[in-house]
Amino acid sequence: MTGPGGSPYTWAVPDIDVAVIGAGVTGLAAAWSIAGTGRSVCLLERHRRAGLETSTHNSGVVHAGLYHAPASLKTRLCIAGRERLYAFCAEHGVPHAVCGKLVVAHDDSELPRLHALKAAGDAAGVAGLTIVDRDFIAEREPACPARVGLYSPVSGIVDADALVQTLLRLGQARGVVFLPGAALLAGHAEADGIRLTTEREELVAGQVVNAAGLYADDVSRMLGGERFTIHPCRGEYVALVSSVGTRVTGLIYPLPHRHGLGVHVVRTLHGAVWLGPTVTFIERKDDYEADRLPVEAFVEPARRLLAGVTVDDLRLAGSGIRAKLHGPDVPFADFLIRRDAVNPRLVQAAGIESPGLTSCLAVGAMVCDILVR
């Protein structure tokens, strides 16, 4: 098959109802959900495999929904998404654990903020939040020196790689056409839809979902949609390689910081113990390594959560890049999920930073609702 220009390298994909740009958890969940309505769906991904960017460079934590205003999409979709995600994982065999999480106060000066976090979580409807004492903490996380904490029993962890692969498989089973190695290069309005061009394919889609993560601003511009800017913000991790790690049972967090949830401790489903992520706004969207913080920078935040950690206990580990809709001077922006105000054939699912992994099934369902309305 050749494309419209007669190029032997261009495939003419049959025209379809919906094209989803980006096969991270947002695009995968949206594609799966939309295909469930009987529409034809095509999923374009610039890499050769799904989920190679932020969706597999994160803490893998299933959040409770504590951190943002109850009315925000970040809170509402987190709470709805968590319930869906646990049920989905149980049904489809995605490894996960409802291991609970401790948020600990470093000293008495942090107690008002700890209580405020509980109040915000209660107001949002997060179940089971409890202020806990030293005995509870020592029993649950023997390496943690804190005296007071907030315990969230519904928090957990999920295997993000397995989630990506499962969403892809289920989407394909519903007929989603997955096009890996297909970076969107251009889009042009036509009478029946938007003509999308990649290096090899041309197709006309009646509607397009922008789930391009760090590149959602570029994709929106290409498709004649709203103008916004994604600010890449790197989070770096270290691994705990000594016996201190063997005493960690689950998730231990400090109080949240301005641009993130704070350097926390995660025992992964594979038994590794990670500390991170840090917060550094960066220039490039693909720079996971340059000018990384030294392991020494993690010792002090680690000691707040785990007694006796030294620099010898730590090794540099992975990093991820948050797709933020705001720069360092602004503390918050909500998920951008709506029909585009400029191009009505476009639905935005942008600025999906944490808790985007937790929320993905609720985000996918919301995108689908907007599309079929």
Ligand X SMILES: Cc1cc2nc3c(=O)[nH]c(=O)nc-3n(C[C@H](O)[C@H](O)[C@H](O)COP(=O)(O)OP(=O)(O)OC[C@H]3O[C@@H](n4cnc5c(N)ncnc54)[C@H](O)[C@@H]3O)c2cc1C
Q: How many residues bind ligand X (CB under 6 A)?
A: 41
Nearest distance from C-beta of residue 215 to ligand X, angstroms: 3
For ligand X, which is the closer residue by CB, 148 or 359?
A: 359
Residue 131, token pair as written in the block? 């202020």
Residue 243: CB minimum distance to ligand X, A: 25
Alpha helices in the chain (DSSP H): 25-35, 73-92, 111-124, 134-140, 160-173, 216-222, 243-246, 299-305, 356-372
Nearer to ligand X, 171 or 355 (CB): 355
Looking at the Cβ atoms of 158 and 309, the one nearer to ligand X is 158
Taking the least distance from each CB to ligand X, the nearer of 115 and 195 is 195
Whole-number minimum distance, CB 59 to ligand X, in Å?
3
Cross-strand partners of 109: none
215 near ligand X (CB under 6 A):
yes
Residues 174-203 that bind ligand X (CB under 6 A): 183-184
| Contact between 10 and 200 (Cβ < 8 Å) | yes
Beta carbons of 336 and 324 less than 8 angstroms apart? no
- Residue 55 has a CB neighbour count (10 Å cut-off) of 26
**CA 263 from centroid of its chain's CA atoms:** 17
Which residue from 219, 237, 238, 236 is spatially nearest to 228, judged by alpha carbons? 219
Are the C-beta atoms of residues 266 and 157 closer than 8 Å to each other? yes
Q: Taking the complex as a whole, how short is the minimal distance between the CB of residue 28 and ligand X, in angstroms? A: 7
Place of tokens 């103008």: 227
Residue from 322, 324, 326, 345 binding ligand X (CB under 6 A): 322
In angstroms, the CA 183 to CA 12 distance is 15
Scan for tokens 């590794």, then name that residue: 272
Indicate whether 213 belongs to the interface with ligand X (CB under 6 A): yes
By beta-carbon proximity to ligand X, the closer residue of 148 and 231 is 231
What b/e string do you get for 319-345 counting C-beta neighbours within 10 Å, with b at 16 or more? bbbbbbbbeeeeeebbbbbbbbeebeb
- 99 near ligand X, judged by CB under 6 A: no
- Indicate which single residue of 55, 75, 155, 348 sits in contact with ligand X (rule: CB under 6 A): 55
* Residue 325 interacting with ligand X (CB under 6 A): no
In the bound complex, what is the minimum distance in angstroms from residue 359's beta carbon to ligand X? 6
Identity of the residue, 54 or 348, whose beta carbon is nearer to ligand X in the bound complex:
54
Is the Cβ–Cβ distance between 60 and 128 less than 8 Å? no
Binding of ligand X by 211 (CB under 6 A): yes
Taking a C-beta distance cutoff of 8 angstroms, is the pair 352, 215 a contact?
Answer: no
Please state the closest distance from residue 337 (CB atom) to ligand X, in A: 10
- The distance of closest approach from Cβ of residue 60 to ligand X in the complex, given in angstroms and rounded to an integer, is 6
**Segment interacting with ligand X (CB under 6 A) among 11-19, 67-75, 202-210, 348-356:** 348-356
Q: Which one of 10, 18, 27, 193 is in contact with ligand X (CB under 6 A)?
A: 27
Which residue's C-beta sits nearest to ligand X? 356
What whole-number distance in Å separates Cα of residue 322 and Cα of residue 58? Answer: 9
Report, in Å, the least distance between residue 9 CB and ligand X: 17
Cα–Cα distance measured from residue 276 to residue 268, given in angstroms and rounded to the nearest whole number: 13
CB 266 within 8 A of CB 61: yes
Q: Does 277 bind ligand X (CB under 6 A)?
A: yes
* Binder of ligand X out of 19, 35, 41, 61 (CB under 6 A): 61
Quick note: the x/- pattern for ligand X over 140-179, rule CB under 6 A, is: ----------------------------------------
Separation of alpha carbons 261 and 109, rounded Å: 18
Closest distance between ligand X and the C-beta of residue 29, in Å? 8
Contact between 214 and ligand X per CB under 6 A: yes
Binding site residues, ligand X, CB under 6 A: 21-27, 44-47, 52-55, 57-61, 63, 183-184, 211-215, 219, 235, 277, 320-322, 352-358
